[in-house]
A = this chain, B = another copy of it.
Amino acid sequence: MEYKEAKDKFISTWGSLGTLWGINKAMAQIQALLFISTKPLSTEEIMEELQISRGNTSMNVRQLIDWGIVTKELVPGERKEYFTTEKDVQELARVIAKERSRREIQPVIKTLKEVSTIKDDGTEKTRELIKQTKALHDLADTADMMLNKLVNQNQNWLTKSIFKIFK
């Protein structure tokens, strides 16, 4: 497999992974492209490489910046904006974990809490609803704690934890 083929494969695989996880394809592909690029890229270069429109590129680069995984790079003497992504995979994982917790897990925990604390009217179905949503709430809470731990620890936390778990 040659460079170009490998690059395209990586970008498209990353793109479909994104789709599967509720992240749009272009956004994931732009990130992938920047991730393997040896230098910051301009909007034009991204458009050209991925064959997408200016508007699409602009929107999705903005979202990536919003997520905190892409940053503007100012090249001296250039008017254009250039973009880079976080290159360290551990840091990347931390940022993504943090965002997913904030956007997805927190709201669900909130709802589960609300639902699991309704008044117990003594009927079987109410009891079941309370019992099951409470169990889910506990699970979600635990999962979220793990993610947050991941987010707040130093970069080697993940690796170190694996040792503890597997010991």
Interface residues of A, Cβ cutoff 8 Å to B: 1-3, 6-7, 9-10, 13, 17, 19-22, 35-38, 87, 89-90, 93, 104, 107-108, 111-112, 114-115, 118-119, 121, 123-126, 128-129, 132-133, 135-136, 138-139, 142, 145-146, 149, 158-159, 161-162, 164-167
Contacts and interface: CB of A to CB of B under 8 A. Distances in A.
Given A6-B129, A22-B22, 17 more contacts: A3-B125, A7-B129, A9-B114, A10-B111, A10-B115, A13-B107, A13-B115, A17-B108, A36-B132, A87-B132, A89-B132, A89-B139, A142-B159, A145-B162, A164-B164, A164-B165, A165-B165
The DSSP consensus for interface residues of chain A is helix
B125 A38 contact: yes
9 contacts: A7-B129, A9-B114, A10-B112, A38-B125, A38-B128, A142-B158, A146-B162, A149-B166, A164-B167
